[in-house]
Structure 1
Amino acid sequence: MKAATLLLLCLLSSVALAMEPGERLAPWTLLDQFDAPYTLNDETHILLVARDMDGAKLVNAALEGQPKGYLEQRQAVFLADISRMPSVIATLFALPKMRDYNYRILLDRNARIAPRYPAGESEVLWLQLEDGQLLEQKVFKEAAALKQALDSVQAP
């Protein structure tokens, strides 16, 4: 009986995390790698979410060689869940390296925001937004496909 109850709770919790088109994303504020705040707002058209280091590496590879402001021109932001990274590693190695990137990385240090979005391991979740509402979501497991999708977005 306990096993059946546990299974049912797991299934219900995964359904609760599923996002549907038309759903409004709740606004949130996170700091980037330079400790500058960013608040999700109606101007954001693309939210990229990486829940682990492999997902973040996909974004980095897709953005390699792009000019500063590339994501901003597409009204896109990148959210990285770094909550599982030991704070010593983050402080001494990861954050200094992230400061060398020419794009903004919104850092979820406490898994406060990223778990709202159903991004899997070793992938990047793309949420297409309009006026704060979800239009569609895509999953990328290859940097080349993510780069191609980003390149196809027309800057407003």
Structure 2
Amino acid sequence: MKYPAALLLALMPLLANALEPGTRLAPWTLLDQYDQPYSLNANTHVLLVAQDMDGAKLVKAALAETPKGYLESRDAVFVADIQRMPALISKLFAVPAMRDYSYRVMLDRDGRVASRYDVPAGQVLWLQLKDGVLVRQQAFAEAQALKAAMADAPAH
């Protein structure tokens, strides 16, 4: 009888990140590449999350030809987990380069936000929200598929 309890305890961290439709996302606030704060709110309809450089590159490729304000016009927000990036590289090169992007990047410098979501390695997690509640989620491994999904997201 000890083994099932031990197995359950071992799986708890994995189960904690599993979000089901109908789950209200916990609020958070992060700074973007311009050091401007953004707080997850009821107006956010799409939350994109990347936990590694490959995932962030997918977003960059999918949004390469889009005008400034493209994500915002779709009530979409992009969170990039940069905790594994060396601070010196982040400060001197990566974040300044992000200032040339046509979209905001919410920088998760300590991994406290991105770790709440079960993002597959090398992919981007798309969380569809309504009033802060998860409607559906999917992961993208290809920039073209992400670009097509963004194009289908209603603009406001």
TM-score class, shorter-chain normalisation, is over 0.9
1:82-101 to 2 correspondences below 5 Å? 82-101=82-101
Instruction: Quote the residue 2:22 is aligned against.
Output: 22
Partner-residue secondary structure (3-state), 1:127: strand
TM-superposition CA deviations, 1:55-89 (whole Å, max 9, x none): 00000000001000000010000000000000011
1:6 Cα deviation from its structure 2 partner:
6.4
C-alpha change, 1:91 and 1:16, in structure 2 (3 Å) is: same
1:54 aligns with 2:36: no
Stretches (4+) displaced over 6 A: 2-6
Gapped regions of structure 2 (runs ≥ 5): none
Q: Identity percentage over the alignment?
A: 61
1:45 aligns with 2:38: no
Q: Which moved more, 1:10-19 or 1:85-94?
A: 10-19
Structure 1 Cα separation of the partners of residues 90 and 35 of structure 2 = 13
TM-score computed with the length of structure 1 as normaliser: 0.95
Structure 2 Cα separation of the partners of residues 8 and 15 of structure 1 = 9
Q: CA RMSD in A?
A: 1.7
Structure 1 Cα separation of the partners of residues 3 and 91 of structure 2 = 41
Structure 2 Cα separation of the partners of residues 96 and 60 of structure 1 = 15
1:76-87 to 2 correspondences below 5 Å? 76-87=76-87
Structure 1 Cα separation of the partners of residues 62 and 21 of structure 2 = 26
Instruction: Quote the residue 1:35 is aligned against.
Output: 35
Structure 1 Cα separation of the partners of residues 7 and 120 of structure 2 = 20
1:141 Cα deviation from its structure 2 partner:
0.3
Structure 1 Cα separation of the partners of residues 127 and 155 of structure 2 = 17
Instruction: Quote the residue 2:70 is aligned against.
Output: 70
Instruction: Quote the residue 2:131 is aligned against.
Output: 131
Partner-residue secondary structure (3-state), 1:58: helix
Partner-residue secondary structure (3-state), 1:103: coil
Gapped regions of structure 1 (runs ≥ 5): none
